[in-house]
Amino acid sequence: MKRTRKKSKNKQLSAINQQPTTMNPTPHIKTEGTSKFQIGEIINNTVHYDFEKIKTYLNIKGHILFGKNFRIYKEDEELIFKLCSYFIQDHYTCAQMGIDTSKGILLTGPVGCGKTSLMKLLLHLAPHKTNYEIIPTRNIVFKFNTSGFEVLEKYNETKNYCFDDLGVEPTGCHYNKECNVLGEILLSRYDLFTKTSLGLSQKPALSLPKCQSLSLGLSQRHCHSKTHITTNLNAKELENKYGSRVRSRLRAMFNLISFNQNSIDKRI
């Protein structure tokens, strides 16, 4: 399928509109109360997004979610552009930046730089393309401490999750049995990730015309289970806490996107 892009001074993103039109025929128009915000336009079944308009919408949605002091910082725009490209599943732009849209996001940065807020905010950008449940890692461990190993089974489901603040959670302990809860969950999520990836890659499209096979292949490739993470820890700190097995699997499962280490604490 040939992809066309409009020439503009603003950054342009595009994504094939593969959702049924009965669900949301206007994914490029966001509605907040009585106000509508057009963040792009549909041309030949492809949504062409305008990054400047996306920033305007994210600022407004951020005010609604987090209060009047929320704003998009100029120094974060390059990182936000990467995340927006991923969230709308613009495969072409992501590939140019070395981002694999079949993997999850590992978002790192200093305390208070805005990792959790962005992962909550960007859920509203293209929910028909990217969705997940955000769960603080501390809550998972607290649940394990009271309910035991059955808690781990929940994360074997083919559902998308974002584990928030990985690394701040304590070691789990249920009836005097200690467990590195998130380490075990991440190993299970890796197994799920590789199994669903392999299963999808082996599905043939024998009777479809060439152009339809390409479109279906893109759809299948990006519908398997994904895991996302926010963390204050660097690669070495993650290895120290979860071990080399987990660290090696993180490389296979995630796109690393990092805030500048000098990013300010935006909560102050």
What contacts 202, CB < 8 A, 6 or more positions away? none
Asked if residues 235 and 247 have their Cβ atoms less than 8 Å apart, the reply is yes
pLDDT at 247: 94
The predicted structure's pLDDT at residue 223: 52
Buried b (16+ CB within 10 A) or exposed e, 161-191: bbbbbbbebeebebeeeebbbbbbbbbebbe
Radius of gyration of the chain, Cα coordinates, nearest whole angstrom: 20
Q: Which residues pair with 229 in a beta bridge?
A: 106, 163
- The one-digit pLDDT tens for each residue of the chain (268 residues) are 344 444 445 676 766 555 544 457 888 999 999 999 999 999 988 899 999 999 999 999 999 999 999 999 999 999 999 999 999 999 999 999 999 999 999 999 999 999 999 999 999 999 988 899 999 999 999 999 999 999 999 999 889 999 999 999 999 999 999 999 999 999 999 999 998 765 544 443 333 233 232 233 333 444 568 999 999 999 999 999 999 999 999 999 999 999 999 999 988 7
Spatial separation of the C-alpha atoms in residues 46 and 1, rounded to whole Å: 11
| 86 closest CA partner among 147, 23, 128, 129 | 129
Q: Tokens 């499962």 correspond to what residue?
A: 253
Q: Is 263 left (phi over 0), alpha (psi -120 to 50) or beta?
A: beta
Q: Which pLDDT value is given to residue 45?
A: 85
* Cα separation, 229 vs 181, whole angstroms: 15
Asked whether the beta carbons of 14 and 47 are under 8 A apart, the reply is yes
- Residue owning tokens 């929940």: 154
Tokens coding 113: 């730089």
Tell me how many degrees the CA angle 217-162-264 measures, rounded to the nearest 5.
120
Under 8 Å between Cβ of 97 and 82: yes
Residue type, 127: P
Q: C-alpha angle with apex 226: 205 to 98, nearest 5 degrees? A: 85
Q: What is the pLDDT of residue 25?
A: 80
Cβ-based neighbour number of residue 33 at 10 Å = 6
Q: What is the pLDDT of residue 205?
A: 36
d(CA 15, CA 245): 35
